[in-house]
Amino acid sequence: MHLLIKNQGIITTFVNQFKLFMTNITVIGSGTMGNGIAHTFAQFGFEVALVDISVESLSRAIQTITGNLDRQIKKGSIDEQLKKRTLSKIKTYRDLKLAAASADLVVEAATENPEIKLNLFKQLSDICKKGAILASNTSSISITQIASVTKNPGNVIGMHFMNPVPVMKLVEVIKGYATTDEVTDTIMSLAKQLDKVPVEVNDYPGFVANRILMPMINEAIYTLYEGVAGVQEIDTVMRSGMAHPMGPLQLADFIGLDVCLAILNVLYKGFGNQKYAPCPLLVNMVTAGHKGVKSGEGFYIYPGGENKELTVSPKFTRNKSAMI
């Protein structure tokens, strides 16, 4: 395995003398999270099978990974040799069986939809070799529920990476009701090998990160909806007053408003508590296709996919209140 060592501003690699217990990683889903997870495992020397149903999505994923590696080179955190080695470790597949049959670990990063995830894990239970660990990158869906459709629920666990995966240190390791201690310890150790900070949490709606984060984002949207303050004002308060690197409305755009809505619905259904009910404004925005950065418009507009100047959407510049 390749560990990264900082030396005079350049990260070089050396081979760990300890024998790896796993080498083959399959990542399901080539979107933002999937390609980031594939990038990270490959950069640390693992053989990665990246699988998606769309050839175009897989092509975009490799382009994204290449661009992110180039940014790492510009920052001096890796060199050209490590970039080439990382890309050589990633193979793309459209066939799930071919991609996962020899996997030591599968990390599912598909759409945050319970039906899709349950179907995938049921298939993986038949495809994967005995002893393979099945992990989900879900940000809120029950690991216990996902595990219930598999033949070996003790080998199913949550491995919730943060976006952008190559940069963010945290990995929530979610232990389902049936997840074994051995599997939990293995994933905790593996996350450390990726230079991440793993935190073990129990399997309840939203886990820790989103159980705390999503109500804050939802309350920020309610604050806009009820006309207490405008988009920039709300984000400025949280950036300048609470030392948040990004305001909650900008963060919601970055995460994806559809993802925020899906997580809030999981929290609301799971706890049956009105405090988790999604703001009507959020529901309307997602219904209208305004999902944030990914769609080009949310609380801010993103004409080129990004908006460093943070131009507020015209929808919210006419007056402070978004209540309609």
| pTM of this structure | 0.88
User: Is 244 known to be catalytic?
Assistant: no
- Tell me the pLDDT of the chain averaged across its residues: 92
* pLDDT tops 90 at residue 2: no
Question: How does pLDDT run across 119-173, given as a tens digit for each residue?
Answer: 999 999 999 999 999 999 999 999 999 999 999 999 999 999 999 999 999 999 9
- Band of pLDDT at residue 321, cut at 50, 70 and 90: low
User: Is 172 known to be catalytic?
Assistant: yes
Structure confidence at residue 20 (pLDDT): 45
Query: Which of left, alpha, beta for 315 (phi over 0: left; psi -120 to 50: alpha)?
Result: alpha
User: Is 47 known to be catalytic?
Assistant: no
- Band of pLDDT at residue 304, cut at 50, 70 and 90: confident
Nearest to 256 by CA among 234, 224, 287, 286: 286
Question: How does pLDDT run across 175-226, given as a tens digit for each residue?
Answer: 999 999 999 999 999 999 999 999 999 999 999 999 999 999 999 999 999 9
pLDDT over 70 percentage in the chain: 91
Residue type, 296: G
Tokens at residue 254, please?
A: 């970055």
Question: How does pLDDT run across 12-30, given as a tens digit for each residue?
Answer: 333 343 334 799 999 999 9
Catalytic residue among 210, 218, 290, 297: 210
Long-range contacts of residues 2-10, Cβ cutoff 8 Å, at least 24 apart = 2/43, 2/44, 2/45, 2/82, 2/85, 3/44, 3/193, 4/43, 4/44, 4/78, 4/195, 9/76, 10/76, 10/78, 10/79
Question: How does pLDDT run across 26-83, given as a tens digit for each residue?
Answer: 999 999 999 999 999 999 999 999 999 999 999 999 999 999 999 999 999 999 999 9
Give the up-direction half-sphere exposure of residue 292: CA atoms within 13 A in the CB hemisphere: 16
* pLDDT tops 70 at residue 85: yes
Question: How does pLDDT run across 134-149, given as a tens digit for each residue?
Answer: 999 999 999 999 999 9
* pLDDT tops 60 at residue 88: yes
Catalytic residue among 30, 35, 139, 218: 139
- Band of pLDDT at residue 87, cut at 50, 70 and 90: very high
Structure confidence at residue 10 (pLDDT): 38
Catalytic residue among 68, 160, 218, 290: 160
Judge if the upstream peptide bond of residue 245 is cis by omega within 30 degrees of 0: no
Catalytic residue among 47, 108, 172, 297: 172
For the beta carbon of residue 280, count every other beta carbon within 10 angstroms.
Answer: 14
User: Is 297 known to be catalytic?
Assistant: no
Question: How does pLDDT run across 225-251, given as a tens digit for each residue?
Answer: 999 999 999 999 999 999 999 999 999
